[in-house]
Structure 1
């Protein structure tokens, strides 16, 4: 039975081949639009994740500020100063913290024999490389021995290397930081850099050696990596610091926190909203193709009115006529859908990388948008296609099934 009905559908499509092909092309274009829009939304989300992942999403920073709420007999406006004891206190009292490392920074003159610049110099511990996902391009990073011995060594960013040394090998060379000689022992791999951001030209020296430049008793900040819920850990860090510095954990200005996961979550909300919007636009586009299918099927019903009358006169039931025309619509939808999926895949392959973050960030190619197809996108697109095909085919099929056989036989 089903074989006969689908056979009739194929025969009807062959009889009006030009009309059928135009309808199939319309459906293919519609579903290809849906797939590509969803693939773009998926690629946008991956691009945002790539921007944040260069620092590691499990990254949390704490920076001292000034109290804005009274605590006990203390007035508001007390300046908070971190100490190295805070780092140990966080490691001991906050579950989930993997590394906690202090950092100092200051803008100072950096020069060699040919060039002089004013750049940020950071006093760091070896753990900072793991916490902030720094990768070594050449040489090595600062070691515990460097910190213990107050070694005058430095690991410089790739932009700093280019500006100071150009194409010359920088390893082993000497630069002067705030007038003090340091030997270059490592060069970092580049990170994505927006505009005049200094991320790739920071000069890193051992934390202890930073005492030649500024007081190292009070760190400018503490960077941490962790495992677990970012919100709970951020609250625990704030609570731990509040205990040692006597401020309310709710006082947001006493300690500022940089929670990468929180920022990523905000962008993920934007990404989800974009994907919903793109899905809606794609569904509307496919709906237009569905209207075309409906019109073609209504014309087909009108042209085959007498044929429907003969079928009913020979005993065809209403549901048989309905299924006959509905199956024809679904065959057209299915062929168009497969063609559209193939078209979308070809476009995604040949489109390659679409400029996005690299337009504003140096080295941002990894965060450009790629049209990423996924099983979820195929499933969602197929569901939309089936719904559109059923709705578009049901109206003409119902009309055909409800024809009066006597009136249909008389139709000219």
Structure 2
């Protein structure tokens, strides 16, 4: 029976070929719009993920501040000073911590035989390479031996290499930091850099050697990465440091915590909201195509009224008529859906990347928006298509099924 019903549907579509083709084009355009909008939303979210991922996501930075809440007999306004003991305390008491590194920084003259610049020099430990995902293009990073032996070695950013050495081979070269000679042992791969951001001009030296440039008794900051819930880790961090420095854990100004995953979570909410909005817009577009399908099917019902009357006189029941016209609508929807998804794939391939972050940042083409159509996008779009097609085809089908056979046979 179903084969006969679909056979009748195909015959009706061939009989009205031009009308059917126009309707299919409308459905194809609608589903292609849904798929491309969803792909854009997914690409927008992936771009933000890429921006954060280059620096590491499961990491937290803590920096000294000034208390804003009174504790016991101590008034607010006390400066919190982080020390090396806090590094060990975080490692031992905060759950899920993997690597911890103290950080010291200072703007100093950076010189070689040809150039002099004033850049930031950071004193760090080897753990920072894992924490902040520092990938090397040449040489090696600072090692535990460098820290232990207070070696005068330096790892420089990609832009620092270009400005200091141009096309020269940098490894083994000498660079003077605040007048003190250091050997260049590594060059970092370029990271995404906005405007005059100094991320690719930083110079890293062993934390112990930083004592030759700046007093390292009080730390400028501490970075660590972890496994687990970011909120729970931050809560444990604040409790640990509050207990050792006598401030309230609720005092947000006593220490400043840069919780990268919390920031990323906020952008994920924005991305999800955008995807929902784009799905809504795409569904409206497909709905317009569905209205076109409904209109065409209503015209078909009107034109085939006598045919419906004959079928009912020969014993066809309401469900047979209903399935006949619904099948015709679903065939049109299905053909349009396949064509629309194919069109969406073609457009996404032709468009490639859409300029996004690279418009304001260097080395940021990976964070542009790419229209990558994933399987779950196709599944979601197909579900929307089926719903729209079913609703659009059901109304004319119900009207056809409810026709009075005697009145239908009298219809001219």
TM-score for the superposition, normalised by structure 1: 0.98
Partner in structure 2 of residue 364 of structure 1: 364
Query: What is residue 124 of structure 1 aligned with on the other side?
Result: 124
1:370-385 superposed matches below 5 A: 370-385=370-385
SS in 2 for 1:272: helix
Match of 1:136 in 2: 136
Show the counterpart of 1:154.
154
Partners of 1:289 and 1:409 lie apart in 2 by 32
Gaps of 5+ in 2: none
- Cα deviation per residue 1:336-360 (whole Å; 9 max; x = unaligned)? 0111111111222222222111111
Q: Does 1:300 align with 2:297?
A: no
Where does the alignment leave 5 or more consecutive residues of structure 1 unmatched? Answer: none
Give the Cα–Cα distance (whole angstroms) in 1 for the partners of residues 283 and 94 of structure 2: 48
What SS does structure 2 have at the residue aligned with 1:68? Answer: coil
2:209 maps to 209
Match of 1:94 in 2: 94
Q: Distance in 1 between matches of 2:125 and 2:158?
A: 20
1:228 CA displacement: 0.6
Q: CA deviation at 1:401?
A: 1.2
- For 2:388, the equivalent position in structure 1 comes to 388
Report what 1:253 is aligned to: 253
**For residue 351 of structure 1, what is the aligned residue in structure 2?**
351
Decide which moves more: 394-403 or 253-262.
394-403
Q: Report what 1:399 is aligned to.
A: 399
Cα deviation, residue 93, structure 1: 1.1
- Residues 381-404 of structure 1 show CA distances to partners (whole Å, capped at 9, x for unaligned) of 111111111111111111111212
* 1:327 lines up with 2:334 in the alignment: no
Deviation at 1:375, TM superposition (A): 2.2
Deviation at 1:165, TM superposition (A): 1.0
Provide the rounded CA distance (Å) in 2 between the counterparts of 1:310 and 1:95.
78
Match of 2:171, SS state, is coil
Is 2:80 the counterpart of 1:54? no
Q: d(CA) in 2 for partners of 1:309 and 1:143? A: 88
* C-alpha distance in structure 1 between counterparts of 2:310 and 2:67, whole Å: 89
What is aligned with 1:37? 37
Query: For the residues of structure 1 that align with 2:379 and 2:80, how far apart are their CA atoms?
Result: 54
Rounded to whole Å, the distance in 2 between the matches of 1:3 and 1:150 is: 83
2-structure distance, mates of 1:322, 1:69 = 73
* Superposition misfits of 4+ residues, deviation over 3 angstroms: none
Deviation at 1:88, TM superposition (A): 0.6
Q: Deviations over 1:128-186 (max 9, x none)?
A: 11111101110111111111222111100000110111111111111111111111111
> Match for residue 231 of structure 1?
231
SS of 1:253's partner is coil
Mapped to 1, the partners of 2:397 and 2:211 lie a distance apart of 84
Measure the CA separation in 1 of the matches of 2:90 and 2:410: 90
Structure 1 residue 8 displacement after superposition: 0.3
Aligned to 1:336: 336
Question: 208-217 vs 259-268, which deviates more?
Answer: 208-217
Following superposition, the deviation at residue 287 of structure 1 comes to 0.3
Stretch deviating more after TM superposition (77-86 or 364-373): 364-373
Which residue of structure 2 lines up, in the alignment, with residue 198 of structure 1?
Answer: 198
Deviations 1:73-93 (A, max 9, x none): 111111111110110111111
The Cα offsets for residues 58-110 of structure 1, whole Å up to 9 and x where unpaired, read as 11110000011111111111111111011011111112111111000011111
The alignment yields a C-alpha RMSD, in angstroms, of 0.9
Q: How many angstroms apart in 1 are the aligned matches of 2:313 and 2:149?
A: 102
What is the CA-CA distance between 1:14 and the residue it aligns to? 0.2
Structure 2 Cα separation of the partners of residues 358 and 390 of structure 1: 43
Query: Greater shift after overlay, 11-20 or 358-367?
Result: 358-367
Instruction: Find the aligned partners of 1:309 and 1:70 in 2 and give their Cα distance.
Output: 88
Secondary structure at 1:79 match in 2:
coil
Task: Tell me the secondary structure at the aligned position of residue 182 of structure 2.
Answer: strand
State the TM-score, normalized to the length of structure 2. 0.98
Tell me, in whole angstroms, the C-alpha distance in 1 between the residues paired with 2:127 and 2:142: 9
